[in-house]
Structure 1
Amino acid sequence: MFDLHRFPPARLHGHYPENLLTESRLEHALRAGLGRLPLAATVRPSLLRRLAKRVEQAGEAMRLLDDAELAAVACSLKPQLRQSGLRRDLVVRAFALVREVASRRLGMRHYPVQVMGGFVLLLGMVAEMETGEGKTLTATLAACTAALAGIPVHVITVNDYLARRDAGITRPIYEFLGLSVGTIVAGMDLPSRRAAYACDITYCTNKEVVFDYLKDRIALGNRPGPIQLSVRRLCGKGGQSALLLRGLPFAIVDEADSVLIDEARTPLIISGPGSEVADGEELYHAAIDAATRFDEGAHFTIDHGKRTLELTEDGKGLIALLAAVLGSAWQGMRRREQLITQALSALHLFKLDRDYLVHDGKVKIIDEYTGRVMADRSWELGLHQLIEAKEGLAISPRNETIAKISYQRFFRRYCYLAGMTGTAREVAGELWSVYRLNVVRVSTNKPLIREALPFRYYKSVEEKWQALGERVRELHETGRPVLIGTKTVAASEEVSRRLWRAGVQHVVLNARQDENEAQIIAEAGHAGKVTVATNMAGRGTDIHLGPGVKELGGLHVIATELHDAKRIDRQLFGRCGRQGDPGSHEALVSFEDEIFSRRSKSLVGLVACRCGGEGVLGRVVARLFSDEVQRWMQNAHFHLRSELLRFDEQTEKTMAFSGKGE
């Protein structure tokens, strides 16, 4: 039954609200048995439409009020929401109020579909809204209503740029309603972070909020409780005031599939200076040198789906032979095998300008989902130092893990969790299985007229780049703006070189060139503009069409490589054809692309030889094969996330039994 009253604000007050309840044996068995089967949606579209109509009706009276009278409505609504909770009639009034304020302060009145999305968020579900439908504005409905009820709200997005942008856009709404808004971005000091989390609504990235939570856990040493906080205050250690967050009350996760699914493959770790072994630099260089003598297949195997590497018996034997001449540091069997495995990973699994770049003599990790550099992040277990040795850089000190948590375990600790994204249906089962989040599809405000052109397949990368240059030049001559999406920094720079040779003026947006991101995105929809971008332009970015571009056919998007998940391709294609605008998209794919290299070479070669992208039948077979490869990769990633979650749950139980914190 649809019931907003199940969100009592009182539960979200106190020392440090978070959900630390563990699953019962029955719940765990059901989740394991049902796997990714989602629960039937508990809210019907017809009901959402009726509620949106009620908000529209309530808003008619508010249109007649002046600003002072509208502010008085907000003041009177606050105590009612705090006393009665999120009662349906109060929520309808709150939504109507926010809608009117947005109209006056931003010149944007929420569409009925955005109102429907706001109700989905307040119900603790994931609203699947097509890209371009205004999720930033949709979030303000749920965020303002919860904040007026006294519930601290975290609006979580995928990067600093979007956190700053969304907080800046929506700030006038919050301030009119007497609500404070803070922003958390990389590089902020602790007092500034504490002040931002103390606001009614805080915009932050997923990584920043997780690391700040881990800092709180380190400060507390164990699970926080009122007695422990009181003791800390009596001992002069600051109690609650020494912590960064006020707990985990209510989170609205933007790009929920990216944050909760894609990035859940890697745990978040806080590390500190470790006790580096003597001659550490020499050891890492020796390991890289030794690893070059190992042959794939004979000495080690690679699982490209899981992106892991395993030594064979012959490989272990070769390590033993090398250890005899490498010195005492190589005498421990487990230690030397781990070192060589990490060295082989550095050589074969981690690529320059794909997984990392070198800047100012340091290795900078690139976030594969956002395309951005992750400042002050490093790989663990000596991998970072081995990559530095591989690139001939100075070796940085090795750190030791102090605190660690997975995204799955962290986000399940929010008392109430909601999300929004344009691409959730493919992972609806996993969202329910892991987070107990249902996905509710919200219709578009205007009919979509985006045109999907057939994918083009080529036998070699060289053929693909030549075809791309010709295609871009052809579109550029018509005056249409073009967005070219690439998976890596290296690919974006290769495309750039090809376009310069073809005489096509363009701009590049990647982790190495991100200073003018806002300006590049703002101009990408103007006539004659050609933009080459990594995933930085794939999520959350609004590309508005310039004068006369609609008549030319709108923005054209070209994907130069398929991602592991179709959802990420759809995110890129969603940059065009927004809010009823015209637009089109296509993909130029080579059978030498990385995604195909992870499958059987003989099978890929057979498809490439027989299809080659020529003829209708060839294109259909090639598309079916690429779809199968993406499904295979998605399943591999799902199993990897499942293994991480099982390991994390076992670790949590072990730590709870031992009395240790995270």
Structure 2
Amino acid sequence: MQTGEGKTLVATLPVYLNALAGKGVHLVTVNDYLAKRDSAWMAPIFEFHGMSVDCIDYHQPNSAARKKAYNADITYGTNNEFGFDYLRDNMSHSPDDLVQRPHHYAIVDEVDSVLVDDARTPLIISGPIPKGDRHEFNELKPKVDDIVAVQRKYLTGVLAEAKKLIKEGDDKEGGFQLLRVYRGMPKNKALIKFLSEEGVKQLLQKTENFYMQDNNREMPKVDAELYYVIEEKNNQIELTDKGIDYISGKDDPDFFVLPEIGIEIAKIENQNLDKEKEAELKEELFKEFGVKSERIHTLNQLLKAYALFEKDTQYVVMDNKVMIVDEQTGRIMDGRRYSDGLHQAIEAKENVKIEDATQTFATVTLQNYFRMYRKLSGMTGTAVTEAGEFWEIYKLDVVEIPTNRPIAREDKEDLVYKTKREKYNAVIDEVTKLSLAGRPVLIGTTSVEISELLGKMLSIRKIPHNVLNAKQHKKEAEIVDEAGRKGQVTIATNMAGRGTDIKLTDEVKAAGGLAIVGTERMIRVV
């Protein structure tokens, strides 16, 4: 069903019908803003027909109020909260502590986002490890800081040399140097900009294919001068021999070398020592092995934190805490932490308090959770492309409902610019023109960083605006409420995507309505 056609209102019909059975109906939304808004908007219809309505996002987990919300005829809430309540119920010690009823019927709003895009996303409840391993994040951080800076400095020079060689027509050596830079810092902005030039990405691909043939036989030549290698596709990072030597230093060359347990035990046993002394030496050996294994793991996680995770893209720092930003919705995933020591590594990188390590108590994927419902349905404006997956995984048919009236939205052709500077300047020029014409403007961005950059550019032009991103999530309702006013400019990440309803006045409609400017091609504009 197309955007703006009234999915929220239409859902009241099957919700009411299935609620008549008295077994409870769950209406699942993608964020708490929509859950609270829709439950408040639709409650009068249901209550008029004698149904009780509640929203779980208003109440604390494991509370009597949340249990009461589940016992209502119709319960609104977010996919994550429904899933986490199921996990908490599985950890309960008494039937009286359960908050959910058996899963009878659910309607999932923005069903493709929940059941396809986030289907394999695990919901995890974790807790502190009673006596956690001692991690050396603070001790190893200066070493990692140093090696990252050394590699960045070296590869900046290599990139300049690669550009020069390619410009002179020496594609063989230029491609070799370019591949070395890509293997050492694939997310470098200067490299990404250079790869956007005509023919450069193809040259990199051709060179990479050459060195990867025969099971990567030639690749060590590329990696020879690097301190660590980043496999961006697999999200993996590995120290080279040169990197290990650099970090270990001359004072302690065995700093990262794991002892060969079998060989070392044989050596101890061949010494014909008494049993107590032998047991003591073996204990020391296992202890050394454990410390060094943990050290290597900690170092790898720190390298990942520095090389693969960017502040204001994958996470933000607020109130002296590292908070994960959901790639799909642009919202802060409150209470979520990266596992396996990665979150602590990012905390060390950002100089905030390093929290204790955690262990997993319960986990379920959204896909497995929603397959528990006896009846499952959903609604969205973008499900036709995933029709095959819906049938294959959930045995759900996709029915396309035509629009009530012809679509009034005017879609314009994309404009492509050579550099980001030109693109952002063009965005600001267009937005200024539209705002002065009295039209509200919504600018779509893909990250917190870009939304703040455009905000600064608009401030220089003295154009009043609001920024809606993970850092301003508490002001969301207020910002969305103002977004449809005459001449109002709103810069938003994908937070202002699915289900956000911007109201327009007659004056604004006469001026041409809401103008939407997307800064990237992949943004879903609604």
Say yes or no: TM over 0.5: yes
Are 1:502 and 2:357 an aligned pair?
no
Alignment-derived partner of residue 181 in structure 1:
53
SS at match of 2:360: strand
Partner residue of 1:309 out of 226, 236, 240: 236
Query: How far apart, CA to CA, are the structure 1 residues paired with 2:16 and 2:112?
Result: 23
Query: How far apart, CA to CA, are the structure 2 residues paired with 1:512 and 1:493?
Result: 10
The 5 A counterparts of 1:217-296 are: 217-219=90-92, 238-239=94-95, 241-274=96-129, 275-278=131-134, 280-282=136-138, 285=141, 288-289=144-145, 292=148, 295-296=184-185
Are 1:198 and 2:75 an aligned pair?
no
Alignment-derived partner of residue 234 in structure 1:
none
Query: How far apart, CA to CA, are the structure 1 residues paired with 2:371 and 2:136?
Result: 39
Query: How far apart, CA to CA, are the structure 2 residues paired with 1:195 and 1:158?
Result: 22
The 5 A counterparts of 1:71-86 are: none
Give the letter for the 1:359 counterpart.
M
Query: How far apart, CA to CA, are the structure 1 residues paired with 2:406 and 2:242?
Result: 59
Aligned CA-pair RMSD: 2.5
Q: Is the 8 A contact 1:480 1:556 kept in 2?
A: yes
Give the letter for the 1:190 counterpart.
N
Query: How far apart, CA to CA, are the structure 1 residues paired with 2:379 and 2:475?
Result: 27
Are 1:431 and 2:390 an aligned pair?
yes
Are 1:208 and 2:74 an aligned pair?
no
Alignment-derived partner of residue 181 in structure 2:
none
Shift of 1:341: 3.4
Render the CA deviation track for 1:594-630: whole Å, top value 9, x for unaligned. Answer: xxxxxxxxxxxxxxxxxxxxxxxxxxxxxxxxxxxxx
Distance change in 2, residues 1:437/1:345 (3 Å): farther
Query: How far apart, CA to CA, are the structure 2 residues paired with 1:173 and 1:315?
Result: 69
Give the letter for the 2:119 counterpart.
A
Shift of 1:324: 2.3
Query: How far apart, CA to CA, are the structure 2 residues paired with 1:320 and 1:487?
Result: 36
SS at match of 2:339: coil
Give the letter for the 2:434 counterpart.
L
Q: Is the 8 A contact 1:319 1:336 kept in 2?
A: no
Distance change in 2, residues 1:500/1:276 (3 Å): same
Distance change in 2, residues 1:175/1:467 (3 Å): same
Distance change in 2, residues 1:451/1:338 (3 Å): same
Q: Which has the larger radius of gyration?
A: 2
- TM-score, scaled relative to structure 1: 0.60
SS at match of 1:185: helix
SS at match of 2:416: strand
Partner residue of 2:25 out of 133, 136, 153: 153
Alignment-derived partner of residue 629 in structure 1:
none
The 5 A counterparts of 1:149-548 are: 149-185=21-57, 188-191=60-63, 192-219=65-92, 238-239=94-95, 241-274=96-129, 275-278=131-134, 280-282=136-138, 285=141, 288-289=144-145, 292=148, 295-296=184-185, 298=223, 299-304=228-233, 308-311=235-238, 314=241, 324-325=254-255, 331-332=289-290, 335-548=294-507
Distance change in 2, residues 1:330/1:207 (3 Å): farther
Query: How far apart, CA to CA, are the structure 1 residues paired with 2:518 and 2:246?
Result: 43
Shift of 1:302: 2.5
Q: Is the 8 A contact 2:108 2:379 kept in 1?
A: yes
Query: How far apart, CA to CA, are the structure 1 residues paired with 2:61 and 2:349?
Result: 33
Deviates further, 513-522 or 266-275:
513-522
Q: Structure 1 stretches of 5 or more lacking a match?
A: 1-128, 220-236, 564-568, 575-662
Query: How far apart, CA to CA, are the structure 2 residues paired with 1:215 and 1:488?
Result: 32
Shift of 1:539: 0.9
Query: How far apart, CA to CA, are the structure 2 residues paired with 1:319 and 1:194?
Result: 57
Distance change in 2, residues 1:430/1:195 (3 Å): same
Query: How far apart, CA to CA, are the structure 1 residues paired with 2:242 and 2:67?
Result: 51
- TM-score, scaled relative to structure 2: 0.74
Q: Is the 8 A contact 1:158 1:259 kept in 2?
A: yes
Q: Is the 8 A contact 1:179 1:200 kept in 2?
A: yes
Query: How far apart, CA to CA, are the structure 2 residues paired with 1:383 and 1:377?
Result: 12
Partner residue of 2:16 out of 128, 141, 144: 144
Alignment-derived partner of residue 630 in structure 1:
none
Are 1:131 and 2:90 an aligned pair?
no
Are 1:554 and 2:513 an aligned pair?
yes
The 5 A counterparts of 1:36-75 are: none
SS at match of 2:473: coil
